[in-house]
Amino acid sequence: MHITDILVTGEPIIYGAMVSMVLVGIALLFLLTYFKKWGWLWREWLTTVDHKKIGVMYILSALLMLFRGGVDAMMMRVQLAFPDLGFLNSQHYNEIFTTHGTIMIIFMAMPFLIGLMNIIVPLQIGARDFAFPYLNALSFWSFFFGMALFNISFVIGGAPDAGWTSYTPLSGAAMSPGPGQNFYLMGLQLSGIGTLATGINLMVTILKMRAPGMKLFHMPIFTWSTLVTSFIIVFAFPILTVALALLTLDRIFGSQFFTLTGEGMPMMWANLFWMWGHPEVYIVILPAFGIFSEVIATFAKKRLFGYNVMVWSMIVIALLSFLVWVHHFFTMGAGAFVNSIFSISTMLIAVPTGVKIFNWLATLYKSKIEFTVPMMWSLAFIPSFILGGVTGVMLGMAAADYQFHNSYFLIAHFHYVLIAGTVFACFAGLTFWYPKMFGHKMNERIGKWAFWLFFFGFHVCFFPQYFLGLDGMPRRLFITNVAEWLPLNVISTVGAFGMGLGFMVFVYNVYYSFRYSERETTGDSWNGNGRTLEWATTTPVPYYNFATVPYVDEIDPYLRMKEEGKTTYEESELKPIHMPSYTAQPILFMALLGLASFGLVFEWMYVAIFGLIGGVIMMIVRSFDYDDGYYVPVDEIKRTEKKARGL
């Protein structure tokens, strides 16, 4: 096969993308070589097992994916506002909404949150790294290569085009021949390994590595949300893994699980997909709830109202999230009894969610709010998310859902929960913990510009879509020149560009703050309002996090530490610190599996087998690897701490 056979040809937009990708690639290679940064990149980043650096890499990748998914979104919005322009053809439109959805959920929302968890959770519980640092690096690289594989699909081989839900029989070999759908399967499978491993890793870290004295009900709320999320991950992701594997067998090896012929059951895919898919939406919302809780408590300068209730409502949400999946296919025809059961369970889930809303409001009640950028994202979240939740309950009524299903009403619902929930939380969390990660804050003035643009853009974009849905506009449709729909579609597109602008201002702020922001001198960056242990570390955080781990027996331990003048550097208690060594194994291992996946996408079995054998060899290498890490001597700890604390 010749290389030109697998390149996607004939689309000016894609040629443009190819050229710009090549140019950016060349520019990067040039910069790295010119500034002699290759060794630095390899030693400090590509082989790292430090949870903070891995977290930063997750977040950078997620921002990149937010950009890619955002460009997809803009293109769809242009097409919908000006349907007569012929900007996109039907096939191209299908590919774009598929990659947009998949990228935003799997390669943007989850890695963004996992990145924040990576950096913050060990700091919040007084741990020096993850329980399994090697595995953590492995997770990142599996996500990274999965993401890379999925993203090249539009220039090599052709992008998947059966929606992010990839429903069979449409996504089966008979109706979607060619590599496109395989990119979806292998990209998700590969990155799924990482997600599952991260779930286990975080669970063990939180259960086993908390500071002395810290009971589960002393943990910061973001750590709690992470723990609950990792349970959902561990129980939900295997379902996706199996479903993807079965569909892969169908497509590549001719089995008949989801086909129309050979006694396959196409609807079983929908069933399995949503058994994972609904828990998945809670995987991306619970950590967001955790972030908002931290931010709101910090800037309302009050203890979070109803901490125990907050925790229990998350646990109840997690349990219920496994019992509602059928609400995504009420219209499949399962009958009134089945639908009624799942209608009720769906509405039940709104109860603990409502409880959380009231707790946030009660935390804010009579408090002296400080309007920082993270706080503004969090305050904007509450009313916006309620709109999404209420429409969710409307969709949850099976009889009504026959009208709403797969219309723009649904689209508006899930963007209200996913953007006002998850994306606002990502921005809030990143701005909030930014000084911990990079040693300086993001500029507040520019940050507010980004916030207002994005906030208004968001509502202008998605509020009209509820009404488009009620007017009968279906999702995933590329010809929309129905006179009744046009005005609202144009308004919606204007809003979308507002959000795009907001994102650009946000990214500009990263650059601006890097150049001009004041450098942090203390670890407690937000006017000394920090409540939890991450603020007790110095900025920048030393690679071993805590010179000495404080004893903790309450939530908000740092408040009392400040009163009592305690720090994470008690000179009399210093001991050598055991740290894991950096290793190149994770990146090599996952690169090999990435190669295997690439082979499977094109059904080039020799490539696949070669990559898989490489993977097995890497596992053997790991099994006989007896590197137990190293000890940081007390002298070095003293030197580092004295410098960071200006002693």
Partner 1 sequence: MASSNKRVPTNHVIGFVLSLAMTLVAAWAAIGSDLPVSWVIIGIMILALLQAGVQLFMFMHVTEASSGNGHVPWNMMFHGFALAGIIVAGSLFTMSFGFDHDGHGGGGGDHQQHEEQQDHSGH
Residues at the contact surface with partner 1, assessed by CB under 8 A: 173-174, 177, 235, 239, 254, 259-261, 263, 265, 267-268, 271-272, 275, 322-323, 325-326, 333-335, 338, 342, 623-624, 626, 628
> What does the alpha-carbon distance between residue 291 and residue 374 come to, in Å, rounded to a whole number?
10
Name the binder of 174 from Cu ion, partner 1, ligand HEM, none, CB < 5-8 A by kind. Answer: partner 1
Per CB under 6 A, the list member of 421, 464, 502, 542 interacting with ligand HEM is 421
Question: What are the start-end ranges of the H helices in 35-132?
Answer: 38-40, 51-81, 90-102, 110-125
Of 76-84, 296-304, 389-397, 445-453, which part binds ligand HEM (CB under 6 A)?
A: 389-397
Nearer to ligand HEM, 276 or 438 (CB): 276
Nearer to ligand HEM, 8 or 398 (CB): 398
353 scored as a contact of ligand HEM (CB under 6 A): yes
401 scored as a contact of ligand HEM (CB under 6 A): yes
> What does the alpha-carbon distance between residue 505 and residue 511 come to, in Å, rounded to a whole number?
10
Name the binder of 359 from partner 1, ligand HEM, Cu ion, none, CB < 5-8 A by kind. Answer: none
> What does the alpha-carbon distance between residue 324 and residue 136 come to, in Å, rounded to a whole number?
31
| Residues 592, 615 contacting (CB under 8 angstroms) | yes
Non-local (6+) Cβ contacts of 506 within 8 A are 427, 447, 450, 454
Question: What are the start-end ranges of the H helices in 300-372?
Answer: 307-320, 336-364
Non-local (6+) Cβ contacts of 427 within 8 A are 374, 377, 450, 451, 454, 506
Nearer to partner 1, 361 or 621 (CB): 621
- C-alpha angle with apex 95: 13 to 142, nearest 5 degrees? 100
Per CB under 6 A, the list member of 57, 285, 375, 428 interacting with ligand HEM is 285
Closest among 597, 631, 626 to 614, alpha carbons compared: 597
Chain Cα centroid distance, residue 317: 19
Cis, bond preceding 557 (omega within 30 deg of 0): no
Which residue's structure tokens are 């609950």?
Answer: 228
Binding mask 560-599 for ligand HEM (x = CB under 6 A): ----------------------------------------
Minimum distance, C-beta of residue 503 to ligand HEM, in the bound complex (Å): 19
Minimum distance, C-beta of residue 618 to partner 1, in the bound complex (Å): 15
Name the binder of 410 from partner 1, Cu ion, ligand HEM, none, CB < 5-8 A by kind. Answer: ligand HEM
φ/ψ of 153, rounded to 5, equals -55, -30
Of 18-26, 71-79, 270-278, 609-617, which part binds Cu ion (CB under 5 A)?
A: 270-278
Minimum distance, C-beta of residue 616 to ligand HEM, in the bound complex (Å): 37
Contacting ligand HEM within 304-343 (CB under 6 A):
327-328
CA dist 380 → 73, 195, 371, 384, 427 (Å): 22, 29, 11, 6, 12
414 scored as a contact of ligand HEM (CB under 6 A): yes
Cis, bond preceding 540 (omega within 30 deg of 0): yes
278 scored as a contact of Cu ion (CB under 5 A): yes
Minimum distance, C-beta of residue 241 to Cu ion, in the bound complex (Å): 20
Name the binder of 382 from Cu ion, ligand HEM, partner 1, none, CB < 5-8 A by kind. Answer: none
Non-local (6+) Cβ contacts of 193 within 8 A are 139, 142, 593
CA dist 285 → 145, 248, 424, 533 (Å): 25, 29, 11, 23
Nearer to partner 1, 132 or 485 (CB): 132
Nearer to Cu ion, 51 or 278 (CB): 278
Tokens of 256: 């008949």
Minimum distance, C-beta of residue 411 to partner 1, in the bound complex (Å): 24
Binding mask 74-103 for Cu ion (x = CB under 5 A): ------------------------------
Of 224-232, 355-363, 388-396, 507-515, which part binds ligand HEM (CB under 6 A)?
A: 388-396
Task: Catalog residues that contact ligand HEM under the rule CB under 6 A.
Answer: 165, 281, 284-285, 327-328, 346, 349-350, 353, 389, 392-393, 395-396, 401, 404-405, 410, 413-414, 417-418, 421-422
